[in-house]
């Protein structure tokens, strides 16, 4: 489904060259459930942005379903993102003036979904992350973990074929991390949506079917994950 | 979209308020001056009808509006009537109604005209009720509409003009201009009133203006030139000349209005530009996020244009309403002296709001374009 080859992203800061992604080949099939791990600064976020067509590589190519994305105009790229990709960003995710439901509705708005349906789908997405009761709260009134779950609901609400999530569980406790991964795995199994999850958390990686490990902008290892069984226990201790 | 934009504006209440307030001040001034100018234009229009249907002869050195620095010998009337093409020349005399002169607009005047010849002149304005002045009328008056209202007088009533009782015989239709404040009397009555007020003035027969009615078919401009040529010591104001003087008068006013508008444009516009640039730069990340999840360039552009248009619109609306309030209060304050200083027309109400909204939109173009052109990922990463 996604084929990236010879992918490079070089940042120039003054006279310095930072090779955030440095000659990387990756093939992601439709319906995969994979995690991307690696030390801080290894290029995980950069790779995710490239795969999500948010950023153009310095060199190399990305093709989606056999179509070379380099040939697409910014307008076409926007459309592709809007229709096929759901994002959870590492840092800035929600608009502060919109409440949780309105934030989740936003991508549907760009897809010109009628208001009534938008509302219904947004509430359903919030239900998936157990936040129905916080639908009317603005991000400032939510905890970090709750905000992250709202962002996840927003990424899922359009039912995109590809979900790219950058540290989606970074702010969550063990129980909620487990619930989120369970949700994603269920969706992956039931709808065939592709998930690529960047994570620092070995437990999260262990739940996935494939683990891509980055180092210095390259793939250090690419192996099958254990796809550990999930058992989310609300009472479980949270000391890790 | 509207609600969203409003919430964004509400986020920086103080800043939005100050920007809107800047527009309010400018538009307030524009509205008040607009109402003033509307009133003046209205008067000028009415005055035009009155002044441009005749040729006025005034003492040399005075103009249409500054009439009383000198007087004409009555012998001039015969000299003018001798000019070919003149049907009649009517000596006129104007003096202010009250001792005090009223500050604004056309003064209330007692206008005396030679009744033997003034028929054509006095029928330039439509009569509302009663009759016109006739030959031989003594201590009789026909009132302009405003004056009639002020005295609450109609045909048959008695009014006091400069301490003397006059019987009202007729009331004119409103012309929305100077003659509405005139009390028309006979030349002799006016002259007597003048003499009483100026007891030391040399007693002789004089006129302040001589109004010339041309024979039918005679070109007024040519006739005016002929009079100027053959009668020495007078100034002849032809209809074209009168129109020029009148339009010069309103031109100055409209220039002032334009100036105020321009200042409002520059000050208000720049403050909107400034506010919008700040809004865009503090929301860079949000713009990045929106574009990342699929917002079109056009939708971001529209959102910011809407925001700046709304600043303009609110400022314009509030400024205009305050302006109307001020105008209403000022008009009420001067109502007792029966001088409406301001007129509220559709242009006065709608104009400033449309102007402010367009101004806001125009001021938003640059910042909105900047926002719309941001690259999603660069914007998202900024802090
Ligand atoms: N806009 C930029 N300009 C310059 N250097 C950048 C820029 N963005 C990222 N980098 C650099 O590129 C490298 C890879 O960054 P990236 O954000 O992809 O790392 P990451 O693996 O996501 O790290 P983390 O786990 O801390 O999020 C880092 O060294 C970073 O400093
Ligand atoms: Mg990262």
Of B63-77, B144-158, B176-190, minimum mean pLDDT range? B63-77
CB contact under 8 A, A89 and B7: no
Mean pLDDT of B180-209: 79
Mean pLDDT of chain B: 82
Consecutive H or E run containing B240:
helix B239-282
Residue B144 C-alpha from the chain's centroid: 19
Q: What is the structure's pLDDT at B61?
A: 67
Residue A200 Cα to ligand 2 midpoint, Å, equals 9
Q: What is the structure's pLDDT at B336?
A: 61
Mean pLDDT of B90-104: 67
Residue owning the nearest CA to atom 25 of ligand 1: A40
Number of helices followed by number of strands (H, E) in chain B: 12, 12
How is residue A28 written in tokens? 């992601």
Q: What is the structure's pLDDT at A135?
A: 93
Q: What is the structure's pLDDT at A100?
A: 95
The full set of domain ranges for chain B reads 2-45+247-381, 61-232
B203-223 burial, b at 16+ Cβ within 10 Å, e below that, comes to eeebbbbbbbbbeeeeebeeb
Q: What is the structure's pLDDT at A181?
A: 92
Task: Give the whole-angstrom CA distance, residue B265 versus residue B248.
Answer: 25
Q: Select the more confidently predicted residue: B206 or B319.
A: B319
Task: Tell me how many residue pairs between chain A and chain B have CB atoms under 8 A apart.
Answer: 57
Per residue in B41-93, pLDDT (tens digit) is 777 776 666 677 778 888 876 655 554 456 777 788 888 888 888 888 888 87
Q: What is the structure's pLDDT at A239?
A: 46
| Residue B240: pLDDT over 90 | no
Number of helices followed by number of strands (H, E) in chain A: 7, 10
Q: Would you place residue B118 in the very low, low, confident or very high pLDDT band (cuts 50, 70, 90)?
A: confident
Angle among Cα B285, A86, A125 to the nearest 5 degrees reads: 100
Task: Give the whole-angstrom CA distance, residue A6 versus residue A169.
Answer: 30
Task: Give the whole-angstrom CA distance, residue B21 versus residue B224.
Answer: 54
Q: Would you place residue B12 in the very low, low, confident or very high pLDDT band (cuts 50, 70, 90)?
A: confident
Identify the CA nearest to B380 among candidates B293, B306, B304.
B293
What residues pack around ion ligand 2 (CB closer than 5 A)?
A: A 45, 90
CB contact under 8 A, B380 and A89: yes
CA–CA distances in Å: residue B151 to residues A33, B126, B165, B180: 94, 20, 13, 13
Chain B residue with minimal CA distance to A102? Answer: B4
Residue owning the nearest CA to atom 19 of ligand 1: A41
Q: What is the structure's pLDDT at B343?
A: 81
Instruction: Give which of B294, B296, B301, B372 to mutate to test A binding, by max A Cβ within 10 Å.
Output: B294
Which ipTM score applies to this complex?
Answer: 0.91
Task: Give the whole-angstrom CA distance, residue B362 versus residue B276.
Answer: 11
Per residue in B315-337, pLDDT (tens digit) is 999 999 999 999 888 888 776 65
User: Which residues of chain A register pLDDT less than 50?
Assistant: 237-240
Ligand 1 lined by A43 (C-beta under 6 Å):
yes
Domain A32-58+74-236 top-level CATH class: alpha beta
- Interface check for A57 against chain B (CB to CB < 8 A): the answer is no
Residue owning the nearest CA to atom 1 of ligand 1: A11
Q: What is the structure's pLDDT at B335?
A: 67
Residues of A in contact with B286 (CB under 8 A): 92, 95-96
Q: How many other CB atoms are found less than 10 A from the CB of residue A174?
A: 17
Q: What is the structure's pLDDT at B170?
A: 92
C-alpha atoms less than 13 angstroms from C-alpha of B283 in its C-beta half-sphere: 27
């Amino acid at each position: 489904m996604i084929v990236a080859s010879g992918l490079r992203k070089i940042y120039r800061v003054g006279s310095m060259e930072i090779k955030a992604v440095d000659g990387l080949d990756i093939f992601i099939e439709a319906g995969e459930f994979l995690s991307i791990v690696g030390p801080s600064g290894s290029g995980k976020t950069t790779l995710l942005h490239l795969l999500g067509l948010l950023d153009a590589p310095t060199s190399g190519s990305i093709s989606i379903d056999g179509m070379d994305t380099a040939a697409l105009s910014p307008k076409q790229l926007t459309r592709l993102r809007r229709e096929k990709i759901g994002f959870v960003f590492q840092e800035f995710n929600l608009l502060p003036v919109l409440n949780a439901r309105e934030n989740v509705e936003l991508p549907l708005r760009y897809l010109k979904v009628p208001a009534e349906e938008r509302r219904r789908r947004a509430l359903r997405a919030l239900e998936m992350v157990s936040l129905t009761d916080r639908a009317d709260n603005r991000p400032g009134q939510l905890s970090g973990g709750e905000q992250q779950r709202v962002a996840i609901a927003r990424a899922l609400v359009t039912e995109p074929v590809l979900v790219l999530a950058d540290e989606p569980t970074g702010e969550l406790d063990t129980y909620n991390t487990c619930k989120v991964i369970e949700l994603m795995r269920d969706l992956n199994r039931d709808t065939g949506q592709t998930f690529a999850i960047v994570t620092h958390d070995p437990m999260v990686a262990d739940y996935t079917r494939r683990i891509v490990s980055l180092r210095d902008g390259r793939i250090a290892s690419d192996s099958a994950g254990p796809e550990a069984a999930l058992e989310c226990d609300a009472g479980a201790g949270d000391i890790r | 979209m509207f609600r969203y934009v409003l919430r964004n504006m509400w986020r920086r209440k103080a800043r939005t308020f100050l920007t809107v307030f800047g527009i309010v001040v400018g538009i307030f001034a524009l509205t008040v001056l607009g109402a003033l100018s509307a009133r003046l234009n209205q008067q000028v229009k009415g005055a035009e009808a009155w002044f441009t249907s005749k040729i006025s002869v005034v003492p040399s050195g005075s103009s249409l509006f500054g009439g009383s620095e000198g007087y004409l010998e009555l012998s001039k009337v015969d000299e003018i009537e001798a000019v070919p093409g003149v049907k009649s020349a009517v000596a006129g005399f104007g003096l202010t109604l009250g001792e005090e002169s009223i500050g604004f607009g056309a003064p209330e005047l007692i206008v005396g005209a030679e009744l033997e010849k003034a028929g054509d002149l006095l029928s330039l304005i439509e009569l509302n009720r009663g009759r016109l002045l006739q030959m031989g009328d003594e201590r009789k008056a026909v009132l302009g509409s405003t004056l009639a209202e002020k005295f609450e007088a109609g045909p048959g009533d008695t009014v006091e003009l400069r301490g003397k009782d006059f019987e009202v015989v007729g009331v004119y239709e409103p012309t929305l201009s100077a003659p509405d404040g005139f009390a028309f009397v006979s030349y002799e009555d006016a002259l007597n009133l003048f003499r009483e007020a100026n007891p030391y003035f040399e007693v002789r027969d004089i006129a302040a203006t001589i109004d010339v009615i041309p024979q039918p078919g005679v070109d007024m401009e040519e006739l005016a030139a002929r009079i100027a040529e053959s009668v020495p010591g007078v100034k002849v104001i032809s209809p074209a000349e009168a129109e020029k003087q009148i339009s010069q008068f309103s031109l100055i006013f409209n220039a002032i209005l334009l100036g105020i508008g321009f200042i409002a444009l520059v000050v208000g516009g720049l403050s909107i530009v400034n506010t919008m640039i700040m809004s865009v730069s503090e929301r860079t990340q949000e713009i990045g996020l929106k574009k990342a999840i699929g917002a079109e360039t056009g939708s971001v552009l529209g959102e910011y244009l809407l925001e700046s248009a709304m600043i303009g619109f609110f400022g314009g609306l509030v400024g205009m309403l305050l302006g109307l309030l001020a105008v209403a209060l000022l008009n009420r304050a001067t109502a007792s002296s029966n001088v409406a200083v301001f007129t509220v027309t559709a242009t006065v109400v709608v104009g400033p709001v449309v102007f402010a909204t367009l101004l806001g939109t125009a001021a938003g173009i640059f910042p909105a374009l900047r926002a719309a052109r941001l690259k999603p990922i660069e914007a998202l990463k900024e802090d």
